[in-house]
Amino acid sequence: MNIQFFSKNALVGGATQGIGAGIAIELAKCGANVTIMARNEAKLKDFMASLPIVGPEQKHQYLVVDFSDFNNYKKSIREYFNTNSIDILVNNTNGPEPGLALEKNTEDYQKAFDLLFKTVCETTLLALPYMISQKKGRIINVSSLSVKEPIGNLALSNSIRSAVVAWAKTLSNEVAQHHITVNNILTGYFDTERIQKLVNHEAEQTNASSDEIKKARENKIPMKRFGKPEEYGHLVAFLASEYASYLTGTSIPLDGGLNNTY
């Protein structure tokens, strides 16, 4: 397979590190013009400068947004779509704080809803008019295995990500007639800053060290290792390509086989 996105525009959230960075790099390698979004402008500038350029007219840009501040996010993303249109949308944000269901209150859930659901909904609805007019488009949501089986100590993420997946499936049925696909990736354990933060949080609540917690998680995975961000990028590139034109409304586990062990 030879995947090429020359003249295609992609928008990738949370793209200066971890999974988002892996996705942005792979799409750029395939020729896409990539807009990366995050809240740290210095990191955005540095990372954008490192993105591959494989075509003579290929250009990348960045957009400073704070996913945790929905009102300002809405303003920024609407201004972006006033002058930009995209062919590939990758909805990816930072995750909410870990914690038990009994530790969280309704305000915590509202903040998580704004972060994980409202930003995805707002961005997708802004991207769709152009996709519908072109009779083509790709929407890919970075989600979690927790929508199949809740993960301990992630009450907020477990709850809201399930809502995103249900909404995405509903949307996929409505836009399929326009040859627009909507798919979710159910993320397992990847070697990212986010997973290290969760490991450290779990270590603080137990008598185990961070290394012990990490090793225990790796041992649960049939492949006995965490995923690499570039491996995530490979799946996104496939889902965004013409090779996946008949694949929509799915939630695909990317987890080294972990989902099968539940």
pLDDT at 262 (0 to 100): 43
User: Degrees (nearest 5) of the Cα angle 50, 52, 55?
Assistant: 140
Residue 6, helix vs strand vs coil: coil
Note the pTM of the prediction, 2 decimals: 0.93
Do 20 and 13 form a contact (C-beta atoms < 8 A)?
Answer: yes
pLDDT (tens digit, 0 to 9) for every residue of the chain, 262 residues total?
Answer: 899 999 999 999 999 999 999 999 999 999 999 999 999 999 999 999 999 999 999 999 999 999 999 999 999 999 999 999 999 999 999 889 889 999 999 999 999 999 999 999 999 999 999 999 999 999 999 999 999 999 888 999 999 999 999 999 999 999 999 999 999 999 999 988 878 887 887 888 888 898 988 898 899 999 999 999 999 999 999 999 999 999 999 999 999 999 764 4
Which domains, and CATH codes, for the chain?
9-188+227-254 (3.40.50.720)
pLDDT at 166 (0 to 100): 97
Do 256 and 155 form a contact (C-beta atoms < 8 A)?
Answer: no
Q: Which residues, at least 6 apart from 75, have a Cβ–Cβ distance to it below 8 Å?
A: none
Burial class (CB in 10 A: 0-12, 13-18, 19+), 46: exposed
- pLDDT by residue (tens digit) across 41-62? 999 999 999 999 999 999 999 9
Structure tokens that stand for 175 in this block: 């836009």
Burial class (CB in 10 A: 0-12, 13-18, 19+), 254: buried
Q: Return the closest-CA partner of residue 62 out of 11, 117, 1, 28.
A: 11
pLDDT at 260 (0 to 100): 61
The full length of the chain comes to 262
Do 191 and 17 form a contact (C-beta atoms < 8 A)?
Answer: no
